[in-house]
Amino acid sequence: MEELAEAMALIEKAAQTRRYWLPPRLMPTQTWTDYRTDLAAAITSPMDWRRITAAYDSINNLNWTVGHRRNTNQTVEGSQHGVFVEPEDNTRNAWLTLWNAIEVLEETLHVSGPASRLSRTRRGNEQGLWPHGDGAEFDIDAAKEAERQQLREAELRRIDGR
């Protein structure tokens, strides 16, 4: 669960900043590699198992996407601030897949409370991180308008000396 939570946090940060983490950072998979056989023995439902494996498929796909973009878009800005997140990366779908896997693990282990992903509102987090959609649902006009509004507000703050 911690490994998936760490990957989720990286996706959330990327969604907020619109940039991926800096190299050589990758989303973690070592615990999965080391203990997936043990985990498989504890997960009785094939559908639950698929939800967990889908999360690691998403992690591997994003790790590949980020690595590929780093290698093909070698700019100073990208190496210092991280390469850009693109709508076609489907980070929202990856985030939802990880959320679902953590939910399965929490139910299996009977974990709840403040640290639990279940105690947070998924829809509220999702809307806050991807207000303009993602992938095929990305609303580029709304995103551009929001960016223009942010620039106007920043310019007003600069003029006012805030």
Q: Residue 118 pLDDT > 90, yes or no?
A: no
pLDDT of residue 162: 62
Single out the residue of 110, 116, 115, 129 nearest to residue 15, CA to CA. Answer: 129
DSSP β-bridge partners for residue 84:
19
pLDDT at 51 over 70: yes
CA atoms of 46 and 66, how far apart (whole Å): 30
- For residue 63, pLDDT over 90 is answered with yes
Residue 124 confidence class, pLDDT cut points 50, 70, 90: low
Cα 66 from chain centroid (whole Å): 12
Q: Is the pLDDT of residue 113 over 60?
A: no
Please give the pLDDT value at position 121. 58
